Amino acid sequence: MAFPVDKPEATPDSIPNMHFGSTPFFIVMDIDQRKIALWEVMPNPSAKDSKQRGKNTAHLLIDAKVEIVFAEKMGETPLSILRNHLIHVYKQNSQANCRKNIEAFLEDELPPLTAKEITETFNRP
């Protein structure tokens, strides 16, 4: 599981970043028996790219063998890339920390990120 985060010293108790492609780091966690077993923070070298940062970030997570990604919003291209690689993408609660988001996910309380939400997020007047 991966969440966008702001700092290299992020922990499961950190609040996730609201931005996918421009997040400077991801916290990647392994869950075992409904508990966080391992976690590490990895840099996002595409965070400051001027073009295709969402696409490049999606490939970073694919290469890291992440199976589930949480995000507040995401462009259509990175969402399609992740889904085409059988990676599930869920809408995070950006007011709750990563640990609370995982608990909500395990209780089926977080919805998948949908194309409708993407359109509404990126096409606001």
> Tokens at residue 75, please?
């462009």
Give every strand in the sheet of 35-43, ordered side by side.
35-43, 25-32, 2-5, 68-71, 88-91
Query: CA-CA distance, 28 to 10, in Å (whole number)?
Result: 10
Q: Give me the pLDDT at residue 115, please.
A: 62
Q: Is residue 125 part of a domain?
A: no
Q: CATH number, domain at 13?
A: 3.30.420.130
Q: Is residue 122 part of a domain?
A: no
Q: Is residue 66 part of a domain?
A: yes
Q: Give me the pLDDT at residue 1, please.
A: 96
Q: Which residues of the chain have pLDDT under 50?
A: 119, 124
- Has this prediction a pTM greater than 0.95? no
Q: Is residue 65 part of a domain?
A: yes
Q: Is residue 124 part of a domain?
A: no
Q: Give me the pLDDT at residue 114, please.
A: 80
State the total domains in the chain: 1
Q: Is residue 69 part of a domain?
A: yes
Mention every residue, 6+ apart, whose C-beta is less than 8 A from residue 14.
5, 6, 7, 27, 97, 98
Residue 35, domain extent: 2-117
Mention every residue, 6+ apart, whose C-beta is less than 8 A from residue 32.
none
- Beta-strand ranges (E) seen in the chain are 2-5, 25-32, 35-43, 68-71, 88-91
